[in-house]
Amino acid sequence: MSDTCFICLNISNNKVCCSCNIRSHYKCWASFLKNTNTPDICPQCKCENIQKIHNTRLRSQLRSSLPPLHSDYKQVIPYLTRLLYICHTTVGIEQKRIKLIQLFEYLIINQWFIHQYGQFKNTVQNKLVEMYTCEPNWKYPSEVYMKLFNTQIYI
């Protein structure tokens, strides 16, 4: 079993097929699903056991379109600023969670920004740890931490 993403050939922990255990990063997998004609079939073993995102009530609004992939920090900073302002001004726990998921989905797609700026990386790590410890029943922060930093949250 290989631990490499079948698209970019870098190490990945995200299995996308239950039969053959093919692996792919979230960003690579999203790009593959967007550009393929057969999104329900595994590209390696051709079975229909590929990973699908569960359409929960909380995520139903978010999965209709992927966040944009930006290649320049001049595009990322205004977009993050807008998302952070929306998160800050949102009222209600469920609505705030939806906005936080949008923010972190954007960061998952644009991981290069986090890894390029160390201070921002530390801020994101600290915020995810804080969310994980404040709301232990909400598993989303640990999922995001794993996708962004390829490790589990350590408290």
Query: The domain spanning residue 6 has which CATH number?
Result: 3.30.40.10
11-to-69, 103, 147 alpha-carbon distances in Å = 21, 25, 12
Query: What residue ranges of the chain have pLDDT lower than 50?
Result: 53-54, 58-59, 61-64
Domain span holding position 109:
73-149
- Pairwise CA distance, residues 5 & 146, whole Å: 15
* Alpha-carbon torsion angle 56, 141, 22, 25, nearest 10: 110
Q: How many domains does the chain have?
A: 2
Give me the amino acid identity at 127: K
- Beta-bridge mates of residue 142: none
Does residue 68 fall inside a structural domain?
Answer: no
Cβ count near 105 (within 10 Å):
20
Does residue 92 fall inside a structural domain?
Answer: yes
Does residue 110 fall inside a structural domain?
Answer: yes
Same domain assignment for residues 87 and 137? yes
Same domain assignment for residues 88 and 145? yes
Same domain assignment for residues 39 and 96? no
29-to-16, 39, 127 alpha-carbon distances in Å = 8, 10, 26
pLDDT, one tens digit per residue, over 77-117 is 888 888 888 888 888 888 888 888 889 999 998 888 888 88
Q: Write down the pTM of the prediction.
A: 0.56
Same domain assignment for residues 87 and 145? yes
